[in-house]
Chains A and B, each alone.
Chain A
C-alpha cells in the first residue's frame, strides 16, 4: 500500500449534489426596501413584521461585514443574490396531495419522506425548500399536546403575539451584520412552542434544502420552551453542487423558561465546494439560546461536515440561577473548506454550569478553527465551566487553530480547559490495516473514536447518520 493507493480511494462525490428541476418564482436579484416589502407581502405578514424587517435593513446598511474570523473569501456581492425563491404552485395549497410531486421526491431522495404512510416514526419534520416550507408532518398530533410546530411564516399569522414577544429577544436585529441581514430578509424556518410542563412526545426536525441558483437562504428558527417543558430539535441541510458560492445566513433563537430543557442538534451537510475549492455554501449563522429561568438547560450538539465556509458560534446565555449550557461539536473540514466555529457561554446567574466539548478534524488543505468565549459575570457566584478542545489533523497541508477567550469577573468561578492536538498518521492507519481492517474502515474507526463524546449526545436516530456522514466526507483524505 502506497500513498497513491490511498489516494485512489478518491473522494466520494457529494451525495446530495443533484438539483431538482422545478419552476421557481424568484424575486429580482438585489436587496432594497422594495424586495423586503415583496417578501413580507409574499408571506402575507402583518404590518409590524414588515416594519421590524425594514428597521433591521436600515441598520444593516450602516454595518460592515465582520473580518475577525479566521476565514478568507472574496467580497460577497449582496446585490447579485435572489432573496426569495419559491417553487411555483406553492400558494394556496391545503394538503400534501396538492404539493408538486417533484418536491416530495426531492425530500424522499434526501431521506426525508413526507407522505403520511412513509414518514419517519418518532420525528416530526418541517421541510424547507429554498424560501418556503413545503410540509410539516405530525402538526395535528403535536397540537393535542399543545405543542406548536409550524413554519415561522405561518406562526407569524397564526400566533402573532408569541412571535412578536420572542423574535429578536435572543438575537436582536442589530446584533451583527449577518443577523441584521437575516432579520431583514428571512423567509422561512421553524417555530416551536412547548407549553408549560409538556415533554414534547416527538423529536422535532427541520430539513433545509437550497435548490435555486444564485439564491441565498435566510432561515429563522425560534424555539420557546415554557416552564418545565422538554424538547429536542434537529436540523439537517444540504444543497446541490454549484460552481458559484451561495450564502446561507440563518438566525436561531432559543428561549428556555424555568426548569425547561432544549436540546438542539444540527447535522450540517451543505455542499462544501469541489476538490479545487470551487463553489460551496457560505454558512454564516447566528445561533443563541437564553436560559431565562432558573434550573433551565440548553444543549447544542452540532456535526458540521459541509459548507465552503462556516462561521458559527451557538451560544448560551445563562441568566437563571442553576441553569446549564452545553456545547458539543464535531467540525470536519476537507479540501479547501474553512471553518471558524465554537461557542459562547455567558454566565450571569448563580451556580450556572457550562460544558464545551469541541472536536475539530481537518484534512486536505482545509483550515479548522475553534473560537470560544466563556464569560463569568460579576453576579455569577460559583459558576463552573469545563472546556475541552481536541483537534485532529489528517495529512500535512491542513491547519487547526484554537482561540479560547476566558473572562472571569467573579472569584468563586471554577474553570477547566483542556486541549489536545493529534494527527492521524500513516502509523495509526497501518496499525488498523495490520489487524485486517480496510483503509476506509480504519479512518472511520479512528475518527469516530475521536468524536465519540459528541456523538453520544445526538438523538439515537441521528447518531448513525452522523457516523456515516463523517466517513463519507473524509474518504480519500488520508495519504
Chain B
C-alpha cells in the first residue's frame, strides 16, 4: 500500500530525513518511535505533502501512485490522512460543516453524489456511535477553543468520518492523560480493518499497549535504524533511546 524508499527530505536547506525506507501493507499497523528531533514529525508532514518541506531524494508510492507528484489535497482525496500533532483552529466554521465539505470533496473525486446536510448528519451520527463518542464537538467551530485533548479527539473523529486507506497519526497521544489515550486507542482499534493501514508516530510506547502494532520501527538520525515488534517498544520504554542512537551513530 505504502512504499517509501531511500527518502531524503528537509526544511530550509537542512536535511532531516536521510534515506528512510518503509513498507506498509494493507491492514497493517506500524509504529514509528524515536527520540526528539529524529525526524518523526517531518516524516509525517512529508507523507502528507506539507509545502514547507522539500524532498531531495527517494520515492514514495501509495497504491502504485507516485505520491511526490501529487498535491496535498490530491493525496488526501486518494485516501491518505494525517492526524495532526497540532490541529489548527478555523473560526466560524462548525466541525459538522467542515467535515461535510471534506467528505464531499472526496466523494466528488470518486464520482459519487455529494451528501446534503441531512444525509451527512446521518453518516456522522453512525460514525459517532461506532467510536462511542457523543456529539459535543460537532457543532463547535473547528478546534476553536478546544482543549488539547478535544483537539486530538477531533482528529480521530475526522479520521473516522473520512475513512482513509492510510492513516498517519502524528503524536496523537502526546499531552493526553491516560483515559484520553485509551479513548483514542479504542477508536483506532475500532477503525482497524483489512484494507486500512496505520502509521502511528509516537514518542512513548504507552498508546501502543492498547493498539498493539504489527511492526515497531525506531527512527534516529533521519533513518529507520531498527525494526521489530511490540517487544521493541517495551525495550525502548525500559532502556530509553540512547543505546540505539549511539549504535546508529557508530553505524554511520
Contact = CB atoms under 8 A, between A and B. Distances in A.
A433 B88 CA distance: 12
Given A426-B52, A438-B73, A451-B92, 5 more contacts: A1-B49, A6-B51, A435-B102, A436-B73, A453-B92
Nearest to A446: B90
Q: How large is the interface on A (under 10, 10 to 19, 20 to 34, 35 or more residues)?
A: 20 to 34
Contact of B162 (A430, A433, A435): A435
A361 B92 CA distance: 15
Contact of B73 (A2, A3, A422, A433): A433
A437 interface: yes
A137 B62 CA distance: 60
Given A430-B50, A430-B51, A437 B105 contact: yes
A3 B51 contact: yes
Interface of A: 1-3, 5-6, 422, 426-428, 430-439, 441, 445-446, 448-453
Nearest to A392: B91
28 contacts: A1-B51, A1-B71, A2-B51, A3-B51, A428-B90, A430-B48, A430-B51, A431-B88, A431-B90, A433-B76, A434-B73, A435-B98, A435-B102, A435-B158, A436-B73, A436-B102, A436-B105, A436-B106, A436-B109, A438-B105, A441-B101, A446-B93, A448-B92, A449-B90, A449-B93, A449-B141, A452-B93, A453-B92
A296 to B, nearest CB: 30
Interface stretch (B77-85, B112-120, B231-239): B77-85
A438 B92 CA distance: 19
Given A1-B49, A433-B76, A438-B105, A428 B71 contact: no
Interface in B13-55: 48-52
A428 B72 contact: no
Q: How large is the interface on B (under 10, 10 to 19, 20 to 34, 35 or more residues)?
A: 20 to 34
A434 B72 contact: yes
Contact of B71 (A3, A5, A431): A5
B106 to A, nearest CB: 5
B102 A437 contact: yes
B98 A445 contact: yes
Contacts of B73: 1, 433-434, 436-439
B91 A450 contact: yes
B87 interface: yes
A435 B71 CA distance: 12
A154 to B, nearest CB: 42
